[in-house]
Amino acid sequence: MPQRDKILIVDDEQPILDSLGDLLEQRGYAVETALSAELALQRLNGGDRFDLAMVDYLMPGINGLELVKQVKQKYPDIVIIMFTAYGTIPIAVDAMKSGVADFLEKPVNPDELHFIIQKELRYKHAIDQNAYFMAEMAKKSSIENIIGQTEPMLEVFEQIRQVAQTDTSVFITGESGTGKELIAHHIHYYSQRMSGRLVQVSCVELAPGVIESELFGHVKGAFTTALQNKRGKIEEADRGTLFLDEIADIPLETQTKLLRVLQSKEICRVGDNKSIISDFRLITATNKNLEQRIAKDQFRSDLYYRFNVVEIKVPPLRDHKEDIPHLLNHFIRVYREKTNNPIHGTTKAAQDALMRYDWPGNIRELKNAIERAFVFCHEELIDIRHLPDTVFDDNSKLSLTPTPDCTNLAIMEKDLVLKCLLKTNWNKTHAAALLGIPRNTLKSKMKRYGIPDQPP
């Protein structure tokens, strides 16, 4: 029998818990209730797992919005529907920003509620299935799991899944650090060729004189350092996959030879005139703009059209920031296993900073930031002060509004005070220590510059 979906209802009014609980149980869900946000958190922290939570907006103690933020930070997979008797647009916008999937006004219409729950759970199960599929693939091939639950990433996964089953040439594009190499590996290990070799050549690292002998191989005596015969990478990829990474950097003369190989699947080793057949599937990738290079006659358009049969465009991280909590959980788990460090999450300040930052280096930069935090943080939660200065500086710019009638020196001083407060999570003793001034002096400077006593 399929497992029933588990729903947690959180409301401070018992009659609502009873009526909604009955309603959802009748529709086949396993329902639990909590009379406050605190009790809901206790259940979750105690290990109870839920697929979906329905949260009331206005509750004494921790309110609905705060509960959603805490739940989403620790348990990003739970779908949350919020309901309120005071349904106003600003509340709904705030709720959606905190990760609420849907927003309903009280009194709740049973049919509408059931429809929304069904829709959200169907979506969640599709995501879970995709995550499961990706994790299975990674386990099978012992390669790193690909994380992503947002629309743009699900589209990429769907393309990987479809294209992997074919022998079509795939061209992967996207900014540096977005996961192109990881995707190429997944395509190979999910294809019919998974038992063959995945041969990877980074075209950017090879000097023009070496690239041809690397790709096509050479025979003994072909050039002065060719002391013996050597198989090329294309030959090695026979019955497997050839992954030409950084394809934009192949020199023009090699492009012509490569085009011939792609047309005939036959290679001649350098210095030889015998041809060898290689049956390989081609994957290429680049973070450069190839069309621009073609326009400048730096890249052959016929070669481009030969390998660009299916293009997978990997989005930059700033276009799927909602994946950041999932990526954080993943990288924290990975580094915890590697290092025995007790870190199991981030503070709210750190999470906010990580969400605000634009990640020009994409997922690689985020991964490096977490690896770095594992060096500097010896507490359970990564805090903003454990993050690289780039992330931190970018965030501090937001609050550094210069005071209009100050001299430049004063503006700099205000900026510095703010920066240290941000870095220490508004802990005035620590901030004063960082600035090298007594705590009282810091307090008077804060007053002079109109800096609030608590974080804004």
Ligand X SMILES: Nc1ncnc2c1ncn2[C@@H]1O[C@H](COP(=O)(O)OP(=O)(O)OP(=O)(O)O)[C@@H](O)[C@H]1O
| CB of 198 vs Mg ion, minimal distance in Å | 14
Interacting span for Mg ion (CB under 5 A) from 125-133, 178-186, 355-363, 411-419:
178-186
| CB of 330 vs ligand X, minimal distance in Å | 6
Among 11, 181, 212, 365, binds Mg ion (CB under 5 A): 181
Residues 101-160 that bind Mg ion (CB under 5 A): none
Phi, psi of 366 (to 5 degrees): -65, -45
| CB of 441 vs Mg ion, minimal distance in Å | 50
Contact of 380 with 342, CB cutoff 8 Å: yes
The C-alpha atoms of residue 64 and residue 54 are separated, in whole angstroms, by 10
Interface residue list for ligand X (CB under 6 A): 144, 146-148, 174, 176-182, 287, 330, 363-364, 367
Partner interacting with residue 148 (select from ligand X, Mg ion, none; CB below 5-8 Å by kind): ligand X
**Which is nearest to 57 in space by CA: 11, 19, 20?**
11
| CB of 325 vs ligand X, minimal distance in Å | 13
| CB of 9 vs ligand X, minimal distance in Å | 33
Beta carbon nearer to Mg ion, 56 or 365: 365
Which tokens in the block code for residue 31?
A: 């329902």
Cα atoms in the 13 Å half-sphere on the side-chain side of 261 = 26
Partner interacting with residue 12 (select from ligand X, Mg ion, none; CB below 5-8 Å by kind): none
Beta carbon nearer to ligand X, 33 or 362: 362
Concatenated DSSP letters of 351-365: HHHHHHS--TTHHHH
| CB of 124 vs ligand X, minimal distance in Å | 19
Which tokens in the block code for residue 410?
A: 């004063």
Q: Is 231 in a helix, a strand, or coil?
A: strand
Partner interacting with residue 300 (select from Mg ion, ligand X, none; CB below 5-8 Å by kind): none
Q: Is 227 in a helix, a strand, or coil?
A: coil
Contact of 210 with 233, CB cutoff 8 Å: no
Interacting span for Mg ion (CB under 5 A) from 120-128, 180-188, 343-351, 437-445:
180-188
The number of residues that bind Mg ion (CB under 5 A) is 2
Residue of minimal Cβ distance to ligand X: 179
Beta carbon nearer to ligand X, 287 or 395: 287
Helix segments in 340-427, DSSP class H = 348-356, 362-376, 389-399, 408-423
| CB of 454 vs ligand X, minimal distance in Å | 36
**Binding to Mg ion by residue 249, rule CB under 5 A?**
no
Which tokens in the block code for residue 169?
A: 């040439």
Interacting span for Mg ion (CB under 5 A) from 3-11, 179-187, 310-318, 427-435:
179-187
| CB of 322 vs Mg ion, minimal distance in Å | 24
Beta carbon nearer to ligand X, 284 or 347: 284
Partner interacting with residue 147 (select from Mg ion, ligand X, none; CB below 5-8 Å by kind): ligand X
| CB of 330 vs Mg ion, minimal distance in Å | 19
Beta carbon nearer to ligand X, 258 or 285: 285
The C-alpha atoms of residue 64 and residue 67 are separated, in whole angstroms, by 5
**Which is nearest to 105 in space by CA: 120, 88, 85?**
85
Phi, psi of 27 (to 5 degrees): -85, 5
Beta carbon nearer to ligand X, 120 or 144: 144
Beta carbon nearer to ligand X, 261 or 343: 343
| CB of 354 vs ligand X, minimal distance in Å | 15
**Which is nearest to 285 in space by CA: 187, 415, 189?**
187
Beta carbon nearer to Mg ion, 181 or 415: 181
Beta carbon nearer to Mg ion, 145 or 403: 145
Partner interacting with residue 182 (select from ligand X, Mg ion, none; CB below 5-8 Å by kind): ligand X
Q: Is 282 in a helix, a strand, or coil?
A: strand
Q: Is 33 in a helix, a strand, or coil?
A: strand
DSSP class of 63: -
Beta carbon nearer to ligand X, 176 or 256: 176
Contact of 185 with 140, CB cutoff 8 Å: no
The C-alpha atoms of residue 301 and residue 336 are separated, in whole angstroms, by 47
Q: Looking only at Cα atoms, what is the longest distance across the chain? A: 89
Partner interacting with residue 156 (select from Mg ion, ligand X, none; CB below 5-8 Å by kind): none
The C-alpha atoms of residue 392 and residue 92 are separated, in whole angstroms, by 30
The C-alpha atoms of residue 441 and residue 448 are separated, in whole angstroms, by 11
Give contact residues for Mg ion (rule: CB under 5 A): 180-181
